[in-house]
Amino acid sequence: MSADDLNEEQVIERFRNITDRIPAYLDKRDRYKNEILEEEEADGAIRKRIKTGIKRDKKHDTLLKQTISAFLPGGPIESETGWRFLGAEPLSELNISNADALFGNPDRDFALIVECKTSDGRPTRSLEQVYQAAEEVRENKDLVEDATGITIDELECAICVPSIADRRIASEIERHEQDDIASEQVYLWRIHYYEGETLDLYDDINTRSDGENTHNSSLAPLLSRGVDLTHGQQVTPAFFPSSHPEVIMEEVFGILLEQRLLDDKPFRHFTGSEIEAILKSQRNLPHYDAETIGERIYGDLIDRCLRHELIEEVSPSETELDGEETEAFFKFRVRGKSVDTVLTNLRRRYIEMSVDHEADIEAMRIVIDEFDEDQSSLTDF
């Protein structure tokens, strides 16, 4: 097995086991890392890949927020049909396959999962994700019902895409239904971006009759004529359980720094409790178990920011902030006296340190493969 088959945690653990036995491989790691960084100076490939990943995830989050905004309280869907948003990424607290969003109608004991795709280059994989997410909701129905407070007697599925990608996913839905491999009837939602933003239902799937193209609920006529998305977009969530770490960092510290403009607390200092409160708020993190998910994200966020030298821990005597005896105190390690400047410098350093970290991991992979090859040669000998 190649080191490329290992995830990051496995790479780090395997490299540590190797160097505990043969410390000389540490020097090899350093040499390979320097070579990777020299190549990075020339072509910037790692930086481009990191920026592309952040941009892609931000686009996905935006599409999901737009979809959610159609179901917020007071909007046309909620007020006319009773359908409402129940939470993002249901069952993510169990670390199992999950859809992007869960909606429900408590008056009809009806639920709906939605998967958002910004540009569906892999439509087969997208449909398989929906099938798997639906299966998990059914298998964990009692948990979802207890968490959301609604009964789920019937479950529907949908994929939401920008209108420019509608025919691509529609063709794949048709192929799955023609080949009898569709385990769910998946509806297709579209967001249009001309003359404002509108969510509607795509109703031209050729393997279905007219009635089969629309939802079996009061959603059908409303989505068929289209729903304006301008309502509620100012109160959409800040981030989701699987948002990119850089996105979560930017949103969380943005909220914190905006709060600092309103209070008398030190601008560059903060407590762990403040960050936890932001992460566990369902206003920011729209999950029915925001407490559990927020705590999980908190540990990853603080560890990552410390590792990337974005923040550092300080003692209570070094800050004017108050806190319990067990409170953790931090300060930013980037410059800036305004919210925008601090966030800009955090983003810049995050990318710089991510490049260094990825070069480190790649160098470890090379060492692991070299070690395995050396061991294989000794065995052959």
Report the pLDDT value the prediction gives residue 381, as an integer from 0 to 100: 47
| φ, ψ dihedrals at 120, nearest 5° | -85, 85
Report the pLDDT value the prediction gives residue 68, as an integer from 0 to 100: 93
- CATH 1.10.10-classified regions of the chain: 237-333
Tokens 């599925």, residue located: 157
Task: Tell whether pTM > 0.85.
Answer: yes
| φ, ψ dihedrals at 271, nearest 5° | -110, 160
- Nearest alpha carbon to residue 376 among 368, 8, 342, 216: 368
Kindly list the averaged pLDDT for each block of 10 residues, start to end, along the chain of length 381: 90 96 95 97 96 96 94 88 95 94 93 91 89 97 95 96 93 95 95 87 90 84 89 76 97 97 93 97 96 96 97 95 93 96 97 97 96 75 47
Residues 6+ apart with CB under 8 A from 369: 2, 3
Report the pLDDT value the prediction gives residue 8, as an integer from 0 to 100: 93
Report the pLDDT value the prediction gives residue 233, as an integer from 0 to 100: 59
Report the pLDDT value the prediction gives residue 217, as an integer from 0 to 100: 82
Q: What CATH number labels 60-233?
A: 3.40.91
CATH topology of domain 237-333: Arc Repressor Mutant, subunit A (1.10.10)
Report the pLDDT value the prediction gives residue 210, as an integer from 0 to 100: 76
Helix (H, G, I), strand (E, B) or coil at 86: strand
How much is the CA Rg of the chain, to the nearest whole Å? 24
Residues 6+ apart with CB under 8 A from 106: 82, 149, 150, 151
Q: How far is CA 329 from the centre of its chain?
A: 27
What six digits make up the tokens of 76?
């046309």
